Amino acid sequence: MNKKSVIINSLLSLTFGGVLFYLVFKSIDFSDFYNRLTELDFFWIYLSMFISIFEHVIRGYRWNLMMEVGQSKKFSTFVTTNVIIISYFFALIIPRFNDVVRCYLISKTDEINFSKSLGSVVSERFVDIISLLILIIFFLVLEFQTFILFIKSYIIDYTTLDNKSIIIFILFLILSIIISRLIIKKSKYLENKFNEFKDGLVSVKFIYNDKRFLISTLFLWVTYFLMGYLIFFSFSQTTDLGINAGIAVLVAGSIGMVVPVNAGIGAYHFLVASILLGYNLDYESGLFFATVLHTSQIVCLLVVGTMSSIYIFFKIRSKS
């Protein structure tokens, strides 16, 4: 991705995020939001922020398992965790570019091929999608009516894909793959890079039955759940919400973070607030909850991201 593409991507994301933010918050009385802040029990917020750090540690450990496939070399979870934190820190500015950043940094700290590390990241994303789908199915069984109302109101009604569009997309995808393969075969350099990428991509094939990988994936989603669930106890309107509501927040928030805007701003808030309507919470209170949860995680990322950036900067510099 060249410099021009990065700038255009960032501007589009910021614009889209700004529009979403305006639409979500345009009818909100911010003075009421400010008054609610005085009622918060910050112990639970700080605890949620502390637990969020383990998300990066678990991701770092799990990524190491994937990169170590077919290699005798071992990777430091501490280094990898700092690399991942920086990548998410960077994504606050340029969304969807964080995976490129972390692959570049790990190639500098641990001398692993960029292409192979990128392949392992793609596999990791695939595992995350499968995990989210499993979570959605679980939530569907647990809270059928709430989930169906949520999907119908905020996803299906805004989806306009017809059969013609789907066929065109599939044909375009097939044509792109064929052209890419022909180009790769004509270039020895590209062929080598593609093979490195493929090695990383298929790494998940060799560790999907590794207990360490499965357990770390489970712990990762438990961590995500706790980050939201603990915030329930920070103010009176959500204290009585139970585990089912916590899972609902996890599902809605995960879908919101998929939207290509900086840190899911706007989309995350809207989806979390909307799904909490199914738990007898008014929209404004749900939006306040989503704002507290989202903002606390951003603040935490800013702090640890700055520290990780300093550490990795000096580590890379010491190797040069």
Q: What is the pLDDT of residues 256-273, one digit of tens each?
A: 887 767 777 888 888 898
Q: Percent of the chain at pLDDT above 70?
A: 72
In the chain, domain spans? 3-319
Q: Alpha-carbon distance 133 to 111, whole Å?
A: 34
pLDDT band at 317 (very low <50, low <70, confident <90, very high): confident
pLDDT at 8: 61
pLDDT of residue 311: 94
CA distances to 8, 110, 212 from 293, rounded to whole Å, are: 29, 34, 29
pLDDT at 16 over 80: no
pLDDT(160) > 60:
no
> What pLDDT, on a 0 to 100 scale, did the predictor assign at position 70?
66
Per-residue pLDDT reduced to its tens digit, 220-241: 999 999 999 999 999 888 999 9
**For the stretch 85-121, what's the b/e string if a residue is b when 16 or more beta carbons lie within 10 angstroms of its beta carbon?**
bbbbbbbeebbebbbbbbbebbbbbbebbbbbbbbbb
Helix extents (H) in the chain: 3-25, 30-37, 42-67, 77-91, 98-109, 114-142, 144-154, 163-186, 188-201, 203-207, 211-229, 243-258, 267-275, 283-319
Pick from 261, 202, 219: nearest CA to 131: 219
pLDDT at residue 172 greater than cutoff 70: no
Band of the pLDDT at 174, cuts 50, 70, 90?
Answer: low
More confident residue, 150 or 66: 66
Q: Give the mean pLDDT of the chain.
A: 78
- The residue ranking higher by pLDDT, 77 or 161, is 77
What confidence category does residue 161 fall into, taking pLDDT thresholds of 50, 70 and 90? very low
- 3-state DSSP call for residue 240? coil
pLDDT at position 13 over 80: no
Contact 230, 252 (CB under 8 A): no
Torsion, CA 211, CA 214, CA 218, CA 223, rounded to 10: 90
206 vs 229: CA distance, rounded Å: 34
d(CA 247, CA 103): 31
Q: Which of 87-101, 230-244, 288-302 has the lowest mean pLDDT?
A: 87-101
Q: How far apart are CA 290 and CA 274, in angstroms?
A: 10
**pLDDT top residue among 171 and 183:** 171
SS (H, E, C) 109-169: HCCCCHHHHHHHHHHHHHHHHHHHHHHHHHHHHHCHHHHHHHHHHHCHHHCCCCHHHHHHH
Res 278: pLDDT: 81
Q: How far does CA 230 lie from the centroid of its chain? A: 19
Closest CA to 60 of 100, 108, 120: 120
Closest of 278, 201, 219 to residue 59, by C-alpha: 219
pLDDT tens digits, 187-210: 444 444 444 444 444 555 555 567
